[in-house]
């Protein structure tokens, strides 16, 4: 019962923060509400026995990526007059949500999911801990993990080349 209550609170928080995010005029408010979504999702990950991923979600998303986004938003120093023409039109937002509900969400919620009866698998007590995930990464996924470091290096150099005024 407690699990259901926590799930519904976190789910409602993530959906409400998500809707707030796509309707705010000011990008800073949107970034703050998006951090709320990430926090709620980290709680849901923790409920799904994914303790390490939950911590990484907070550290990397809320602590790393969103700080970068907020930093760039503040760097560009946009004025209210610049932001007003780019505000969300409620009509178009509602139209998009209704259209997507008809094409994507409705079929998933009412046709696909009711016909599936997935149940939770049997878990060992250390499922999702840092040790188990680390063993998986460094045994089966060692090569993709090393490629990932190359991707990050490429991204950093690419970002420097693009953002620098002249090389």
Partner 1 sequence: MELYPITPNHYLALSAVLFTIGIAGVLTRKNVFMTLMSLELMLNAVNLSFITFAKVNSDLTGHVFVLFVVSIAAAEACVGLAIVIALFRLKETVNLDMFKSLKN
Q: Which of residues 31-60 bind partner 1 (CB under 8 A)?
A: 31, 34, 37-38, 41, 44-45, 48-50, 52-53, 56-57, 60
**How many Å from the N-terminal Cα to the C-terminal Cα in the chain?**
60
Number of Cβ atoms within 10 Å of the Cβ of 35: 21
Residue 4 C-beta: closest distance to partner 1, Å: 5
Q: Which of 79, 81, 85, 167 binds partner 1 (CB under 8 A)?
A: 85
Q: Which of 111, 118, 125, 143 binds partner 1 (CB under 8 A)?
A: 118
Q: Please provide the DSSP assignment of 100-123 as one string.
A: HIIIIIHHIIIIIGGG----PPP-
DSSP-assigned letter for residue 89: P
Q: Which of 116, 146, 166, 167 binds partner 1 (CB under 8 A)?
A: 116
142 contacts partner 1 (rule: CB under 8 A): no
83 contacts partner 1 (rule: CB under 8 A): yes
Spatial separation of the C-alpha atoms in residues 29 and 89, rounded to whole Å: 17
104 contacts partner 1 (rule: CB under 8 A): yes
Residue 18 C-beta: closest distance to partner 1, Å: 4
Which tokens go with 159? Answer: 């970002």
Spatial separation of the C-alpha atoms in residues 109 and 98, rounded to whole Å: 14
Q: Which of 80, 81, 121, 146 binds partner 1 (CB under 8 A)?
A: 121
């Amino acid at each position: 019962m407690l699990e259901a209550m926590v799930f519904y609170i976190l789910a409602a928080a993530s959906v409400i923060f998500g809707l707030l995010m796509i309707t705010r005029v000011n990008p800073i408010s949107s970034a703050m509400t998006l951090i709320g979504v990430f926090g709620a999702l980290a709680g849901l990950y923790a409920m799904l026995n994914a303790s390490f991923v939950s911590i990484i979600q907070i550290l990397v998303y809320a602590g790393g990526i969103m700080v970068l986004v907020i930093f760039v938003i503040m760097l560009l120093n946009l004025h209210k007059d610049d932001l007003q023409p780019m505000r969300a039109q409620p009509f178009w937002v509602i139209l998009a949500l209704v259209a997507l509900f008809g094409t994507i969400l409705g079929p998933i919620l009412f046709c696909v999911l009711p016909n599936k009866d997935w149940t939770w698998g049997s878990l060992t007590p250390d499922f999702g801990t840092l040790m188990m995930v680390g063993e998986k990464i460094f045994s089966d996924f060692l090569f993709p993990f090393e490629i990932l470091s190359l991707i990050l290096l490429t991204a950093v150099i690419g970002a420097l080349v693009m953002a620098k005024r002249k090389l």
